Amino acid sequence: MDETGLSTVQKKTRKVLALKGKRQVGGITSGERGVTTTAVCCANAAGNFVPPLVIFKRKKAKDELRDGAPPGTIFAFNPDSGYINKEIFNVWLCFRFQHTQRTGCNPMMCHFSRR
């Protein structure tokens, strides 16, 4: 299981072409700050994986955010930071148990995720 943060703003600057001998060369950079989107992925050495969890830094869901996501992806929203927290982790953990066990979710884990 790993959590990674993805930024919506490009951080690497592009190469700029200019005429030879030119003393002043301008570059275009983004002035905005990016919004962090977090992806939680889980796989094992055999190549099996659980569909990812994507966490957006916002209060409400929009259907457009789900476009192009892998089948089974679950979505969460954290307006404070966009990162995973205890409640979101417990929901993901219960989802993982449902996805990997034939008998369904471990009742003890689901009990903790409801708090």
Report pTM: 0.63
Indicate the length of the chain as a whole number. 115
Per the CB < 8 A criterion, the answer to whether 107 and 91 are in contact is: no
Is pLDDT of 113 > 50? no
The four Cα atoms 51, 61, 109, 70 give a dihedral, to 10 degrees, of 0
DSSP 8-state secondary structure symbol assigned to residue 85: -
State pLDDT tens for residues 67-89: 888 888 889 888 888 888 888 88
pLDDT of residue 58: 85
CA separation for the pair 10, 57 (Å, rounded): 18
Domain borders along the chain are 2-6+34-113
Residue 109, exposed/middle/buried by CB under 10 A (0-12, 13-18, 19+)?
A: middle
